[in-house]
Chains A and B, each alone.
Chain A
Amino acid sequence: MAERLTLAYRAPMRMGPTLEPSGGGDDQLSVRTERPDPGTTVLHVRGEVDMLTSSRLQTSIEQSLDAEPQVLVVDLEDVGFLGTSGLAALIQIRGAARLAGAELRLACTNRQVLRPLALAGLTGLFSIYESVPAALDAQLAE
């Protein structure tokens, strides 16, 4: 009986993850999409976000809004560099998410990402959580 309960709990988790190729000829940036439940999309971003890759990040994230998630978590923990183009992309993504009616949450503790956000005075514009589970557990803001 216990085993069946575990399976029932885990089943929706197995819908993800799907691997999306980053699309470019380099390995600077990759985005992995996970849908733990129909209303939630988690994007794991890995790599460096600069002039070359920021538009790709923006496109990947904006495409994920097509699935009309209520909550969009962008995991930036494995981002090794975030330049001003990346900041601009995040601002654009924030606008796109708002238009699509999705709540955008960033998951990140690393300095490479938090420092530029702070320097640009953008920290207050985003809901930033210490981990993906923490971002997922947060209540929907109204």
Chain B
Amino acid sequence: MQSVLERRLRLPAGNQSPMLARRALRDALQDSELGDLIEDALLLTSELCENAVLHAGTGFELLLTATDTELTIAVTDQGPTAMELNLAKPRPLTDRMATNGRGLVLVDALADAWGTRHDTDGHHVWFTLRRGGTDTAGDPGSATHETEPPATTPPTLTWPNVSTCRWLLHLSNERVATLPLPSVIGELARRLCEVLVAEGVGVWVDFDDGNGEQELASHGQLTEPASIDLPLPLAAPLAGRFRVQLDLPTPSAVEIAELCAQRLALAIESDWLRGADRRRWSWMTYLAETSELLAHSLDVELTAAIVPQIVVPRIGQWCAVHLLDGHGQLDLAALTHTDETELPELRKGLDTAQSDQLRSQLDGVLRGGGAAPINVPGDGIAVALTARGQALGTVTVGRLADRAHNPEEIMVISDVARRAAPAIDNAQRNATSVETSQALQQALLPRALPDSDGVDFAAAYLPATTGADVGGDFYDVVPVSPGRWLVSIGDVCGKGARAAARTGQVREFVRVLVREGHPPARVLELLNDVMMEAQDPHQFCTVALAMVTEPPAGQPGGLSVELVLAGHDQPVLVHADGGAELVGRHGTAAGLVSDFTVYPTHHVLVPGDVLVTYTDGITERRRGREEFGHDRLVSTIARAAGLNAAGVVSMLRVAVDEFSNAGQRDDIAVMAIGAPAT
């Protein structure tokens, strides 16, 4: 008793269809008596389905009929030509295009019987596998097969019908996107071969990659010279040929071949452009990363050093940046080589002072403003760095290990330079602005402290080492009358040139008022009034004023000090015989509120005593989260007891330096007033 299994499955012309067909077949046969035929059935079914999808380009129907001893699978598609033509001239298996047309060879080798039929329902290809059937692997053509003559081939060729033409030229996007180019070209060539009933076709393309013309696909037999030999209408730099071998090359056949050549050219070009697009995309990502790296740097040396790091080894074996100095000379600013041992030699070769040839080549690049090849110290490309219309310098990139730069890479190098130039320009301008502010600040400080027998002055000013701008610290000593001095120290809120300007105003204002005879407390009240009138909440300052008076002639040494603090830190008084303390009473900072109060205090400095005023850059000096602080300040100064003013200042400097090796974020001003020891 034979049970009969029948399954019918309709599948679209999609890339997934062969897999769906295999799955259905596996499910159907898994538990049947035919389990040992599964592998061969899957292999043959998959080939027939792939053939239908790729070659016919239509949906198809799969019909499975199985008994206990044999199974038959038929695939029916609606393609315009019959599939058996694939079998006519199988390609050698090891060929590049071996996969095309191999499917039916397998069918012939494995199936116990197989055949094709063409009727109104479409094209049927079927095969039968039997349990214990003849395994005829490796012996193609031994199976029994029945083949009807193809129905669509007219004896003398005229133009084929519309659906055949469509089939000849149309491959779905899905297919084109999945298959490698040789498969696409091979399939198109094979279709032409069938429509023209040609002996053979072949496609050769030169991709301008240095490998010359290469066979992309060939099908059937070609003899020299081919009966039709056409150039492929490809855009430069691509070039190619299309050859067809025909018994009778009629004018229509030539026209159809020309049409096909255009289709082939389209496929080849679009594949090539896709590759170019992928390369461009990866360059774009690379350049975006370059911009990001450069944007984070405000330091000239660092910015220049980033460029070679980005370029090597991706687009060159070595890379150097030269920047113009103040005298228009190109100086080597940064350099990298893939092989570090080459660096010293390369550095020598890139010294413009030593090589006239290099200098003249780079000067040429600077004048030209673009990219140009150079040959010293080695072959490469040099590009000008230009920002805001000004030449800043050059980027030089040595050639790659195995070849010179291609046009695409030269464009990328130019692009890197275009991105680096503004970053270097910004860093240079930032450096200039820092220098300007610092110069302004220095100009506001007294050039020299008064030299007096009765008072011992010493001061130190340490500008901030990190950050773009300077702070608004100042100190000053004004002679008021013989034997009387006004010492001021302060910190104007804010940074940069604006704070420096305001600092100048505050200093001059204090000078004038003091010269007019106002006592320190009154000077600060007036300063507060003026700053309040400016109505700028961001402008205020802390000031400490000390009116220092020498004793009248003939009296014992020492100094009398009237101290007024407007929001400023308490000074430290260190006694000659040991011990130090914070002195003075806190008052309001100037420029914050109109209700302004300060509290003058009086102190006596005996010979050897030193009064140390300072700005908060010292106490707020950081080591991680820890601040230098007032306690450390007092104990540090206490250890300086017995030293003169200059000694105390330098000891304090050392202590602040040793406290932290982090960059100094704020300005530090120290002003010490000592009563000379007798």
- Other-chain residue from B46, B94, B110, B138 in contact with A83 (beta carbon distance below 8 A): B46
Is B40 a contact partner of A115 (Cβ separation < 8 A)?
Answer: yes
- Other-chain residue from B16, B22, B99 in contact with A85 (beta carbon distance below 8 A): B99
Q: Return the CB mask of B404-439 against A: 1 if under 8 Å, else 0.
A: 000000000000000000000000000000000000
Is B179 a contact partner of A81 (Cβ separation < 8 A)?
Answer: no
- Other-chain residue from B43, B50, B137, B178 in contact with A55 (beta carbon distance below 8 A): B178
Number of A-B contacts (CB under 8 A): 76
Residues of B within 8 A of A92 (CB): 96
Shortest Cβ distance from A51 into chain B, in angstroms?
Answer: 4
Residue A119 CB within 8 A of the other chain: yes
Q: In whole angstroms, what is the CA distance A70 to B53 when docked?
A: 39
Q: Return the CB mask of B158-194 against A: 1 if under 8 Å, else 0.
A: 0000000000000000000011100100000000000
Is B94 a contact partner of A51 (Cβ separation < 8 A)?
Answer: no
- Give residues 95-110 of A contacting B (CB, 8 Å): none
Q: Return the CB mask of B88-115 against A: 1 if under 8 Å, else 0.
A: 0000011010110011001001100000
Residues of B within 8 A of A28 (CB): 19
Q: In whole angstroms, what is the CA distance A92 to B180 when docked?
A: 12
Residue A15 CB within 8 A of the other chain: no
Shortest Cβ distance from B592 into chain A, in angstroms?
Answer: 62
Please judge, given known A-B contacts A48-B22, A83-B50, whether A115 and B43 are in contact too, CB under 8 Å: yes
Residue A133 CB within 8 A of the other chain: no
Is A120 a contact partner of B102 (Cβ separation < 8 A)?
Answer: yes
Residues of A within 8 A of B42 (CB): 81, 112
Query: Smallest CB-CB separation from B101: which chain A residue?
Result: A84
Most chain-B Cβ atoms within 10 A of its Cβ — which of A55, A58, A84, A92? A84
Chain A interface size, as a band, is 20 to 34
- Give residues 47-73 of A contacting B (CB, 8 Å): 48, 50-52, 55, 58
Is B39 a contact partner of A111 (Cβ separation < 8 A)?
Answer: yes
Is B54 a contact partner of A51 (Cβ separation < 8 A)?
Answer: yes
Residues of B within 8 A of A52 (CB): 15-16, 18-19, 178
Residue A142 CB within 8 A of the other chain: no
Q: In whole angstroms, what is the CA distance A55 to B186 when docked?
A: 15
Q: In whole angstroms, what is the CA distance A84 to B46 when docked?
A: 9
Is B93 a contact partner of A116 (Cβ separation < 8 A)?
Answer: no
Shortest Cβ distance from B358 into chain A, in angstroms?
Answer: 36
- Other-chain residue from A84, A112, A118 in contact with B99 (beta carbon distance below 8 A): A84
Residue A122 CB within 8 A of the other chain: yes
Most chain-B Cβ atoms within 10 A of its Cβ — which of A28, A50, A51, A52? A51
Residue B206 CB within 8 A of the other chain: no
Residue A26 CB within 8 A of the other chain: yes
Is B138 a contact partner of A116 (Cβ separation < 8 A)?
Answer: no
Please judge, given known A-B contacts A91-B98, A119-B137, whether A84 and B19 are in contact too, CB under 8 Å: no
Residue B299 CB within 8 A of the other chain: no
Shortest Cβ distance from A95 into chain B, in angstroms?
Answer: 9
Is B16 a contact partner of A83 (Cβ separation < 8 A)?
Answer: no
Shortest Cβ distance from A110 into chain B, in angstroms?
Answer: 9
Residue A21 CB within 8 A of the other chain: no
Q: In whole angstroms, what is the CA distance A116 to B107 when docked?
A: 12
Query: Smallest CB-CB separation from B18: which chain A residue?
Result: A50
Residue A136 CB within 8 A of the other chain: no
Q: In whole angstroms, what is the CA distance A108 to B43 when docked?
A: 18
Is A50 a contact partner of B19 (Cβ separation < 8 A)?
Answer: yes
- Other-chain residue from B22, B94, B103, B109 in contact with A91 (beta carbon distance below 8 A): B94
Q: In whole angstroms, what is the CA distance A138 to B39 when docked?
A: 30
- Other-chain residue from B40, B43, B53, B98 in contact with A51 (beta carbon distance below 8 A): B53
Is A120 a contact partner of B39 (Cβ separation < 8 A)?
Answer: no
- Give residues 46-65 of B contacting A (CB, 8 Å): 46-47, 50, 53-54
Query: Smallest CB-CB separation from B42: which chain A residue?
Result: A81
Residues of A within 8 A of B40 (CB): 115
Shortest Cβ distance from A12 into chain B, in angstroms?
Answer: 26
Is B179 a contact partner of A87 (Cβ separation < 8 A)?
Answer: no
Is A48 a contact partner of B19 (Cβ separation < 8 A)?
Answer: yes
Is B178 a contact partner of A84 (Cβ separation < 8 A)?
Answer: no
Q: In whole angstroms, what is the CA distance A48 to B39 when docked?
A: 13
Q: In whole angstroms, what is the CA distance A28 to B19 when docked?
A: 8
Residues of A within 8 A of B47 (CB): 83-84
- Other-chain residue from A55, A81, A85, A121 in contact with B93 (beta carbon distance below 8 A): A121
Shortest Cβ distance from A92 into chain B, in angstroms?
Answer: 8
A–B pairs, 19, beta carbons within 8 Å: A26-B16, A48-B22, A50-B18, A51-B18, A51-B178, A55-B178, A55-B183, A81-B22, A81-B42, A84-B50, A87-B99, A87-B102, A115-B43, A118-B137, A119-B109, A119-B137, A120-B106, A121-B93, A122-B93
Residues of A within 8 A of B (CB): 26, 28, 48, 50-52, 55, 58, 81, 83-85, 87-88, 91-92, 111-112, 115-116, 118-122, 125
4 closest A-B pairs (Cβ-Cβ)? A88-B99, A52-B15, A51-B50, A84-B102
Further 16 A-B residue pairs, CB within 8 A, beyond A84-B106, A85-B183: A28-B19, A48-B22, A50-B50, A51-B53, A55-B183, A81-B22, A83-B47, A84-B50, A87-B98, A87-B102, A91-B93, A92-B96, A115-B39, A115-B43, A120-B93, A122-B93
